[in-house]
Structure formats: C-alpha cells, structure tokens
Structure 1
Amino acid sequence: MRIELRDGVLHTDGVPGLLATADYPYYRDDPTVWRDRLTTLRDATGIRIVSSYLPWRHHQPDPDTPPDFTGATRADRDVLGFLRICAELGLGVIAKPGPFIHAETNYGGLPDWICPLHNPQVEPQLDARGNTVDWIGAHRDADGEVGRWPLPAPLGGHFATRVGEWLRAVGKEVLQPATGPDGPVVLVQIANEGLFTDGALPLWAYDYSAPGLDLFRSGLRERYGDLDGYNAVHGTAHADWSAVRPPRERHPGGSLELRRQLACADWGRYQSDLLAEAYHSWTGALAPDVPVVVNLNPPAGEEHALDAWLSRVRPERWNGIGYGFTNWMGVVSTDHGSHARYVVAAKRAPGPNLEENWGFSELYDRAYAAGATSFHQSLLALAAGATGFNVYTGVATSGWGDDLDAKHTPPYPDCPPIDQHGNATGKAGTVRMLADFFAAHGGEFLGATPATGPSWGLYAPYAAVAAWTEADAPVAPGAETEALPVCGRELRAFHERMRAEGRDYRIVDLESATPERLAGHPHLVLHGGAFMDADTQRLLAGQIAAGLRVDLLGPVPRVDERLRPCTLLADALAARPAAAGTDSAVDDAPAVRVVGGSADAYWRAAPSGTGYLTVLVQSDHDGPVRVEIAGAGAFDGRGLAVTVDSARGGAAVLRLVDGALDDFLVTGANAFLGSAVTPAVTVGGVRVQGEYGRDLARIGGELRTPAA
C-alpha cells in the first residue's frame, strides 16, 4: 500500500479519498482492553484509521534510561503491541510523537526532566516582557492545585538534543517496524497546534529566548544581506546584529511610521520561520517513510488574533510537511465568530481536520454532549475545504495514573462514541453515517468544485503589522505615520460578505503564488498598505494586465520592502480601463442562498452533473430551512429549491445527481438543545422523511434511521 499526501488529500495507491479518523489514547487505558475498544470503535463507527499521541513523559520518565516502547517497564507503554493490534484489526494509524502533545497530560506530555525548573541546561521560552512561558506542570501544590512550569525554548541546544534523541528513537523503534507495505502507520503528526499549543497566541507571546532571537537575527541577515543593508532600511546605526531589537510593545492604531511597520513585518516572518525550523528539524530526526502533517489550532477570538495567526501560519514554507487543523475554539452553531474563524482555518491550506471535539462536554462546553454539535462542525469543516475529519476522542478511557495526568479524573473523555465500558453510545451511529457516506462519496466530494466568488489575496506582512497595532487606540500627536493595513479585519468582513451573497471563497498566499496559480483566481480581493515587495507587485500587475480582476482595499503601495520607490501595482491599477474589473466570470458561478431559516449553506459541483449541498442549521432556528441554488451554471440555469427539516444546531449533506436527490445525511435531534424533529429532505417537490427524533441517512440507496 502506497500512501501519499497530494495537495492535502490522502492518496492510497494513487486513489484519492477523504481521511476519516478517530483518536484513541492507548496510554490512558489498560492494555487488556485495547483490542476490545479498537474492535468496537471499528465496528460501531466505520472508522478505519485511528490516531494517537505517543507521550514522551510516558515512555521515557527517566532521562538516563532509553524509551520503553515494548512494555518492558510497564504494560501500558507497549505501543508496539498496540500497533500490532491495529494491524490485525485492519486499522491504519496516525502516530503523533510530539514532542509536546497537550492532550490534557502533565506538562503537555513533556518529561519532568526536560523542564527548566528541574534541568538548568534547558533554556526557558520567554515572552516579550522577558517572562517565562508556562504550562500546567505535573505535581499538585499544598492547596491541591497543579502548578505551572516554564516551557523549554524550542531551539535551545540541550532541549533540541534531547528532542532529537526522542524522535530518532520513535522513528527507528516504532515507525520503521510499523510502516511499509504491511504496517499500520499511514501518517505521522509532529508537534501540537503550533509548537506547544501556541499557534493562535499573540506575536508577543513567544519566543524571545536567546536561541529564538538568534534565529530572528539569522533571518534578518538572510533577508537584508548585511548590517549596512538593514541599517539603511530601518534608519539605525547598529554595529552588530546582536544590537537589533525585536518589537515588544503594541502600537496605537490608525497609523504607524513606515520603518516600524517593517520591523513588525520582520517579526512576523520570524514567527513563521520558528515553526518551519522546528517542523523541519523534528521531521528530520523522525525520518518517517510516510507523509508528515501538523495540526494548527484556528485563530483565537481577540481583535489581534486573526492577524497574528495569518502572519505565523505559512504552510507554503514547510516544504512537504502537510497542513492540518483542529477545533477547540467554540460551538460554531451558536457563536458566529467561531464559525468564521473555523472556516478560515479550513481554507488556509488544503488539509484534514485532525481534532474535532466529539467526546468532551464537561471539560469544554456542554453542547458537545449531543452528537449533533460535532456532526455540524465536521460538515462545516469539510464544506469549507477540509480534506478529512477526526473524532477526538473516539473511546473513553479510565486507566492512567497521576504520573501521566494528575489533574483530570476518569473517564477521559466523558461523552465519546464508545464509553469507558466499551459500549457504543448514540454518537457512534452519528459517526457511522458520516464515515459511511464519505467512504462512498469522499473522493468525488473532494474533487467537486465549490461555488466560489472572489478569492482573498493574503499578503502576510500586512497581517504582521496589523497584529502589533491596537485597533482603536488614538495616534500619538505629532507622530510620523503611514496608513496601516488591517488585513484580518478586512478578511473577516470579506468572509461575511461572501456568506451573505451565498458564495464560497478561497485564500491564496501572494508571496508564494506563481502566475499560473493566480490564473486560477480570476477575481482577487486584498487589503493594501504603504509597502509591498516588488515581486508581489509585479505578480499582481501581471494579473491585471491579463484581464483578471484585482480589488485593492485601503492604501496603494508605492514603495517596496526596502523603502525603494515601487509603483508597479499602482501603475497597473491606474492603467486598466474604467470598466475593467466591474464584472467577472467567477461572479456568475452558482450561488447557494438560504431563503428561509437561520442557517448557512455550501454548494460544490462535479463535472458529471453531481453536486453536494451542505446545510448547517444554527442553534437558534426552529422549522424547515429553505435553500435555493441559482446561477448561470446551476442545473442548466433552472436553479433548484431544497428544503431540509433538521433539529436545531444540526446539519445535512445532500448528494444531488442531475438535480435529483441521491444519498444524504440529516440530523433528527439535538438532546442538548431539547430539539427533536421528523428529519426530512425535499428536492424538486420530492420529499423523503424519517422517524421523529432520529437521524436520517441514505447511503448507497439504503435508508437508515440511527439513534441521534
């Protein structure tokens, strides 16, 4: 079996498919139940690939003893035995060796002995104020609370050495025997949500340690060539690179002196360099024979957070390491801001959702006690661009000790598809219909074209500047200023406009784009700024000259990133005919509009005449949802009316063939919201309905009514 990741899509022996997975933390359960839990997970949910972290602290609690992967020191460390069971049950595996894993483990899964508190050779990670960046530790204090410990600097010499040793051991002793033609491991995930669950933190949150600043200054040397070049651009007179200081304070909003904007952009590049450097180093130590992915958390909700995330998360710079993302940012059927941020995460680059909360209500939000909540979110991620979904976690566990997790009590999690006794819950049926539907249609679904309007052109240096700027703060009197880009806020407004118009959209990174790639984006919208590098200006000017549409919001750049005059984009915008850009073929694409009810909808069409409609019902809605698919390319111009009867906070996905209803899934109940309906779908006057208070599915022409 040959496994490849092509443009974010998993291919098995050359055949594309949607990646459907469920997590099972073997290290939290008694090894005597591993086989039973995996068998039930497979048979009750239809999932054929499991994911699991490999906690460093669990397998190597002693720094002077090699990691135990066979259970020689304790039975629950026998990860090789766990992988053998997976192989015997026909299950693939995504192995996730960290080094930091979070997963509610002590110190994020790092061993105590790698903490700077216990090992003076380990340098701590620092924030902009010089304070250590801390995480929940491993021991309770006198008050019974688990204290916080400083995290290691990711590029610190001793930490990097020990991480390399850990990952090389995993690669040699775990991955090599478990990959290849008959091995169960199909993918490897490194790190967790950035490096230390920090992908969504502000740009000033980390890493100002000495090793981090060495990488920052190394990047400046590569960018500016020499210190004279840096001084000329920034108006400084530094005699040594060590004198270059990074930004540490946010700036008043509205405007900012141009050289300070460039300093913010420099720090944004460093943040993306830090991820790329660690990802490449850790992947090199693992040396896996299967594709490698990472799982980024979506942007946070603060006003600066989307810009910070956009400037840090640059998958185009990871050179073969695949993009993936997680949930953990709110209930999207209730919180519109969470919905928007989740969509941005799904659109940033092709890749799977690697952690969707299906199991935790007590720990996160009680809405997740109902499978409808996670079903809604999984379908949203797929509709917005994800190439797979994950059930985190699929099985409740109860067999760990305080050395692994001193904070939480069993079961972990509290409401998954398979409970702590090994019994399938109602959620198992919901997962099963999702897994079976996309086992049948996932390749076609991923190959279908979303009904998109304009694309958002991301210029990451603008996001870095905006992240450092207080949105509504007054400008200091008499300050030399330049108009500021407001990338994240404009992207959010663009998102809202596209959803209101019933169109999807794409995000394209301008700094890495080629003319050939941009030709696939006939209408670009982006925010402007006082500067833009000459290569990107030239690329956009070529787009305009080719007759494609570019809408620039805000200021038009007139200098490049070295402050040299550069008006390539300004000249191209001025030279285009007055009527140019007022119409575009992409804007004639089919649109899907909700004409009745509080819901959102996405449409994608395959060349064969098959299409997929996803309907996402908000938590405040009762009654049918009415949707219209219209536009020049929709069903020979006839358009199509669809009605979906779903529980509040539920969702539906419909496969339509030449305008007629084929297979589909729809939610019948949401126990958390006390909502139950007779689920139904009506297309072209033909209605199919199920049983009151139960989900409804048709897969391969067979009707199913699993318990909700």
Structure 2
Amino acid sequence: MFIEVRDGVAVIDGVPRVLVTADYPYYRDDPAVWADRLRAVRDELGIEVVTCYLPWRHHQPEPGIAPDFTGATHPARNVAGFLALCRELGLRVIAKPGPFIHAEVTYGGLPDWVCPEADPSIEPLLDAYGRPSRWVDGSGGAGRALPAPLGPAFLARATQWLSSVGKEVLGQDVPVIALQIANEGVYTSGALPLTAYDYGPSGVAFFRDRLRAWYGTLEAYNGAHGTSFGDWAEIEPPRGPGGLLAPADWGRFHADYLAEVYRVWTQAVGSDLPVVVNLNPPTVPELDDWLARVRPELWGDISYGFTNWMGVVSADRDAQARYVIAAKRAPGPNLEENWGFSKLYHPAYIDGATSFHQSLLAMAAGATGFNVYTGVATSGWAPDLDAAHAGPYPDCAPIDARGAATAKAPVVRALADFFARHGAEFLESAGTARDAFGLYLPYAGIAALSGPEGPQCGRPLRAFHERMRGRGLDYAVVDLEHVTAGELAAYRTVTVPGGPFMHRGVQRLLAAYAAAGGRVLVDGPVPALDERLAPCALITPSTPPPDTAESLILYGDADAFLRSHPDRDVHYLVVLVQTGNEGPIGVRTPYGTVEVVAAAGGAAVLRLAGGELGDLVVKGVNAYLSCAVEAGVRLNGERAGASGPGDLIRIAE
C-alpha cells in the first residue's frame, strides 16, 4: 500500500480515499490480547488503518539508556511486535511518536528527565509573565514545567528520540503508512492564548529572527512601527495591548513558531512518509489566538488535521461553531473523534449517536476522514504511564476491555463500510458553498492581545458562521494572504473583517475580484492603509446580494449539507439532527423533498442517484436522550425504513 496526501486527501495506491481509522493504545493493554483486539478492529469495525501513539516516557523511561522498542525491558514496550501483528492481520498504521502526545498519559508522554525542574540545562517554556508553562495531569497539583521546544538541550533530546523512532521502528517491512507529529499544537497548546508562550530565550530569539526576515532592515522595522531601536536585540515581544503592528507581528510569530517546531521534529524522524498534525479546535475566548497561530499554508508538506474534544455539538452552538471552523480551516482528516469517553468528557458519549453525528458533521464541513478514538477499551497499564485514571480506558469504546463488540460497533462499521464504498465519489463531489469568509490574520493577532478594542478577525467569522447557519447555508473559509484569484472567483461573495490596514496585495486581490463581478462585503471599517501603515485604499465595499438563497432545511431542527458530483447525477446528503428535535426533517434536494426520520442528536448520510435513494445510514436510537424512532427516509413516494425502533443501514454489496 502506497499513500500520499494531496490537498489534505489520503491517496492510497493512486485512489483518493476517505481516511477512516481507529486508535488502539497498545501501551495500555496486555500484549497477550493485542492480536485479538486488532482482529476486532478489522472484523467488527471494518477498519483497515490503526493509529497509535508511541509514548516517549514508556519506551525510554531513563536517560542515557536507548529506547526499548522490542519489549526487552517490558513486554508492553514491544512496538515492533505490535506492528508485526498489524502486518500479519492486513492492517496499516499511522504512528504518532510525539514527542508530546497527551493521551491522558503522565506528563503528556514526556519522560520525567526532560522536565526543566529535573534538569536545569533544559530551558522551560515561559509565558508573558515569565512563568513556566505547566502540564497538569488528571491527578491535580501544580503540574510540571514544560520544556521549550526550540531550547537547545531539549531539542537535542527530542531529536534523538524521534531519530530513534525513524531508524528502529520505521524500518523496512513495517505497515506504517503515515506519521503524526506532536499533539494538538505542540503541547495540546494550539488553542491557548498568544501570551501563554513562548517568551523564553529560544522563543524570543526566534521571534527576532523572524522580524529580520519580515522587515529586512532595522530601519524598515522602525519606520513601520514608529520606533528607534538600534539593535534587533532591543525589541521585546508584546505582552498585552498596544499598537497595531506589534501584536500582529506576535501573531505571525506564533504561526511561524508552530511551523518551525513541526519542521524540525519532522526532519528529526528522517522518514519520507506523509506527515499530518492534529490541531485542537479553538476555544470561544481564544478564537483569534487560534486563527493567528494555525496557518497550514506555512507547513509545506505537513498536512492539516484536527480533533474533537470540545463538547456535544448537537446541543451546544459554541461547540458546533468551533467544530465547523476547525473542519473548514483547511482540508484534512478528523484525527480524533471521541467514540469512547463518557465519564471523562460528557455522558452523551455513552451512546454512539453523539459520535456518529460529529463524525458526519466533520465530513460534511470539509474533513477528509475521521478517527475512532479509541476503537478499543484497554486496561492494565503501568502506574508510571498513567496513575490518574482508572481502567478501562476509555469507558465506552466500540470494542470493550474484554474484546467484545458493543452497541457502538455496528454504527462504526456502517460508517466505515459506507465510506469504503463511496468515499472517492464523496470526495469528488462539491459542496453548495457560494459564499466565503476571508481571514485576514494580522487582525487575529491584534485582537488576541488587545481584546474587543480594535480590529477583529474571530468575532466577524463567528458572526458570519451564525448568519450562514441561521439561513441553512454552507460556506467556505479562505486565507486572504494565500488564496488565489481563481480560487476566490468560485464564490459570489467574500466577507472580510474591517479595520485600519490591510496588505496591499490583499487589497489588489479583492479589488480585482470585485471588478470581475464578485461582491466584497466588509464587516467593519474599510481599510485605508497597507501593512506598513502607508496610505492604500483599493477596496470599495459591495452591497450584499439579494437574499434569495434557499435553505436546505424545510422543516425540523437540523443542519444539512449537500454535495453534488461534477460529472454524474449523484448527490450526497448529510442531515444532522439537533438534540431538541421532535419529528421528521424535511430537506430540499435536486430531486425534491427528502424526509428523514432520525433520533434526536442523531444524523443521517444518504447517497442520491438518478432521482432515487441509494445507500444510506440513519441513526434511529439515542439511548442517552431516551429516544428511539423507526429510522426512515422518504423521497418521491419511495421509502426506506427500519422494521421497528432502531437504526437504518442500507449499503449494497
């Protein structure tokens, strides 16, 4: 099997595939059951690709001793044997060597000996107040200081770890098809405030290096900022509100910083396998911080991916907005969807309807795959790996800690089978988005540090999202500093955040788009300056188009997304039922009204072809909400329905 990633899509042996995966934390289980659990993933869940972290602290608990990948010091460290089992069972693997993994592992999977408090030669990661950033495990307490990723001592040790993985684990005849680097940013920190890091020596040195690259000369920097620095070393990073360009620079630094950490860690592995990352979605207060930091356009060959862990999207508008924005930021897979944790996160996850809804929302909003995290419940790990959580881990996975399939297993299997059969066609089909939001990310850096005063990016984006959702319409998100004229021309409108300045090149792009018939809608003041605060006013705002676009939802409380194939009379409809809905959902389609009956908080995915119903999966039961309906779909007199209260699964052989 040969895999590459093209524009966020996994292309396996030359064929685009929806990347459906399940995580199995082998290090938390008895090696004696590895083979049985892997068979269950393959046979019960219908999944061919397994993901697994490789915890650094598990494989190399002591400094100066080579990592154990063969089980010489403990059977559960035999990742070589685990991969051999995967190969024998016909499973492929996405390996995730960190070096930081979270995964509810002590110190996020870092070994104790890289903690700055254990080794003074290791530079700590510092916040704006000079305090060490700390990782707090589930057991509570003040937590342990985290090492600065670019600090020389830690970087050398992390490089050695990643290089060992590359040489000793990813050798010949292993079924690893891709790698994931880091976790949710660097230290599950992708959504933290811009003031949370990195104000340590290595971070500030990198910041000044980037200023030199961006401005070229100190004279140019001083001219733009209105300062009189005599040396780059005199420039300090901003620690709060103040000015326009300084916070914009700090936001840009965060984007380059994340890209640099990804680059050096990927380079350390020394592998030519495709590399993905898994950004955690933004929080509501830190939406601008996330937008400023997360710029996949800067990552080169490293591909975007994201995770869940934000709440029940069928019941929480904030969670739904964060989820959709993460899925739309760039094409890539959902690399961790919660399918197993109800006690640790929310009791709604006790039933598969919640995860089913969210997996389909990710796909409808732009994701190119989804991960079942975790596919298997585990027990019996060593206390030094995780002393804060009791088994099983997780508490309600599709395969339980005894290896038996739970009620979630058929739901996962149905999704896996649906996308195995139709995934390539689904990815080829285009959504109905006719309107786009244009991110202008210097404003995100300013808003992150200055708060509600001054230009914004996240707030206009969230308002745009709510307007579009309220009208039942899909939309796109583009980065104005990287989108091409041809890409922008696909949309009838582009809404941009307003403010005092905007890059001259971006203003030219928008002016040309408007001249060609597009409509530029500015949320706020029209920019009159360029990025160096020189006069530049090239944008003339358009009037909004008549509100004639029709919502897909005709009745019922749900969201709907429609994708149409460019060459065939084929359409894919995803219906996402809200927690409070009662009764059927009516959806507008090219063939007329489709009526869907599904559980509250559930969802449906349908293939429509030639005016008829094709394959479909509809969730009719949500035990958490005590809801059980006879799942069904009706189109032009044709009805497909369950024989009683329950799910409806129809996938042709």
**Which TM class, normalised by the smaller chain length?**
over 0.9
SS of residue in 2 equivalent to 1:628: strand
Quick one: which amino acid aligns to residue 597 of structure 1? G
Note the alpha carbon deviations across 1:230-259, whole angstroms, 9 max, x for none.
1222122222222212221247xxxxxxxx
Note the alpha carbon deviations across 1:163-194, whole angstroms, 9 max, x for none.
1101111011111235xxxx411110000000
Match among 458, 466, 469 for residue 488 of structure 1: 458
Match among 405, 416, 439 for residue 458 of structure 1: 439
Structure 1 Cα separation of the partners of residues 470 and 19 of structure 2 = 30
In structure 2, the partner of 1:664 is 616
Q: How does 1:373-412 map to 2 (within 5 A)?
A: 373-412=354-393
Structure 1 Cα separation of the partners of residues 31 and 574 of structure 2 = 40
In structure 1, the partner of 2:601 is 649
In structure 1, the partner of 2:564 is 605
Structure 2 Cα separation of the partners of residues 60 and 137 of structure 1 = 19
Structure 2 Cα separation of the partners of residues 168 and 582 of structure 1 = 54
Quick one: which amino acid aligns to residue 465 of structure 2? H
Corresponding position: 1:162 with 2:167: no
**What TM-score results when the alignment is normalised by the length of structure 2?**
0.97
Note the alpha carbon deviations across 1:476-527, whole angstroms, 9 max, x for none.
xxxxxxxx32211111111122222222111111111222332333421111
Note the alpha carbon deviations across 1:194-223, whole angstroms, 9 max, x for none.
000000111111111110011111111111
Note the alpha carbon deviations across 1:116-167, whole angstroms, 9 max, x for none.
11011111111111111100269x7xxxx55510101111000110111011
In structure 2, the partner of 1:101 is 101
The answer to whether the 8 Å contact 1:457/1:524 transfers is yes
Match among 267, 270, 283 for residue 284 of structure 1: 267
Corresponding position: 1:343 with 2:334: no
Quick one: which amino acid aligns to residue 117 of structure 1? E
Note the alpha carbon deviations across 1:67-91, whole angstroms, 9 max, x for none.
1111111111110110010011111
Corresponding position: 1:298 with 2:281: yes
Q: Which runs of 5+ in 2 are unaligned?
A: none
In structure 2, the partner of 1:553 is 523
The answer to whether the 8 Å contact 1:146/1:407 transfers is no
The answer to whether the 8 Å contact 1:137/1:147 transfers is no
Structure 2 Cα separation of the partners of residues 619 and 499 of structure 1 = 16
The answer to whether the 8 Å contact 1:676/1:692 transfers is no
**What TM-score results when the alignment is normalised by the length of structure 1?**
0.90
Note the alpha carbon deviations across 1:361-381, whole angstroms, 9 max, x for none.
011101100000000000000
In structure 2, the partner of 1:319 is 300
Quick one: which amino acid aligns to residue 301 of structure 1? V
In structure 2, the partner of 1:562 is 532
Structure 1 Cα separation of the partners of residues 323 and 252 of structure 2 = 23
Structure 1 Cα separation of the partners of residues 275 and 157 of structure 2 = 21
The answer to whether the 8 Å contact 2:240/2:450 transfers is no
In structure 2, the partner of 1:685 is 637
Structure 2 Cα separation of the partners of residues 437 and 552 of structure 1 = 41
Structure 2 Cα separation of the partners of residues 187 and 95 of structure 1 = 7
In structure 1, the partner of 2:222 is 231
In structure 2, the partner of 1:266 is 249
Corresponding position: 1:541 with 2:532: no
In structure 2, the partner of 1:256 is none
Structure 1 Cα separation of the partners of residues 529 and 499 of structure 2 = 10
Structure 2 Cα separation of the partners of residues 114 and 120 of structure 1 = 10
Which range is displaced more, 516-525 or 377-386?
Answer: 516-525
Structure 1 Cα separation of the partners of residues 168 and 195 of structure 2 = 38
In structure 1, the partner of 2:239 is 248
Structure 2 Cα separation of the partners of residues 448 and 229 of structure 1 = 47
What's the C-alpha RMSD, in Å, of the aligned pairs? 1.6
Structure 1 Cα separation of the partners of residues 605 and 60 of structure 2 = 45
In structure 1, the partner of 2:497 is 527
Structure 2 Cα separation of the partners of residues 241 and 673 of structure 1 = 59
Deviation at 1:592, TM superposition (A): 4.4
In structure 2, the partner of 1:254 is none
Q: How does 1:147-186 map to 2 (within 5 A)?
A: 147-178=142-173, 183-186=174-177
Structure 2 Cα separation of the partners of residues 466 and 414 of structure 1 = 40
Corresponding position: 1:214 with 2:205: yes
Deviation at 1:317, TM superposition (A): 0.3
Note the alpha carbon deviations across 1:374-404, whole angstroms, 9 max, x for none.
0000000000000001100000110211110
Structure 1 Cα separation of the partners of residues 543 and 527 of structure 2 = 19
SS of residue in 2 equivalent to 1:513: coil
Quick one: which amino acid aligns to residue 224 of structure 1? Y
Deviation at 1:558, TM superposition (A): 1.5
Percent same amino acid among aligned pairs?
58
In structure 1, the partner of 2:650 is 698
Quick one: which amino acid aligns to residue 570 of structure 2? T
The answer to whether the 8 Å contact 1:453/1:498 transfers is no
Note the alpha carbon deviations across 1:295-315, whole angstroms, 9 max, x for none.
00001122xx11111111000
The answer to whether the 8 Å contact 1:548/1:581 transfers is no
In structure 2, the partner of 1:478 is none
Match among 615, 618, 625 for residue 585 of structure 2: 625
Match among 451, 466, 470 for residue 470 of structure 1: 451
Match among 201, 226, 232 for residue 192 of structure 2: 201
SS of residue in 2 equivalent to 1:415: coil
Structure 2 Cα separation of the partners of residues 224 and 200 of structure 1 = 27
In structure 1, the partner of 2:346 is 365
Note the alpha carbon deviations across 1:676-708, whole angstroms, 9 max, x for none.
1111111122221103332111101x7xxxxxx
In structure 2, the partner of 1:129 is 129
Q: Which runs of 5+ in 1 are unaligned?
A: 252-259, 474-483, 575-579, 703-708
SS of residue in 2 equivalent to 1:445: helix
Corresponding position: 1:510 with 2:457: no
Structure 1 Cα separation of the partners of residues 353 and 31 of structure 2 = 31
Structure 2 Cα separation of the partners of residues 510 and 42 of structure 1 = 43
Deviation at 1:414, TM superposition (A): 0.4
The answer to whether the 8 Å contact 1:592/1:602 transfers is no
Match among 497, 507, 521 for residue 467 of structure 2: 497
Structure 2 Cα separation of the partners of residues 491 and 692 of structure 1 = 43
In structure 2, the partner of 1:675 is 627
Change (3 A) 1:146 1:446: same
Structure 1 Cα separation of the partners of residues 434 and 322 of structure 2 = 19
Structure 2 Cα separation of the partners of residues 437 and 378 of structure 1 = 13
Query: Moved runs in structure 1, 4+ residues, more than 3 A?
Result: 580-584
SS of residue in 2 equivalent to 1:356: strand
Quick one: which amino acid aligns to residue 516 of structure 2? A
Structure 1 Cα separation of the partners of residues 114 and 643 of structure 2 = 56
The answer to whether the 8 Å contact 1:176/1:288 transfers is no
Structure 2 Cα separation of the partners of residues 65 and 489 of structure 1 = 50
Which range is displaced more, 381-390 or 537-546?
Answer: 537-546
The answer to whether the 8 Å contact 1:115/1:152 transfers is yes
Deviation at 1:595, TM superposition (A): 2.2
Deviation at 1:668, TM superposition (A): 1.3
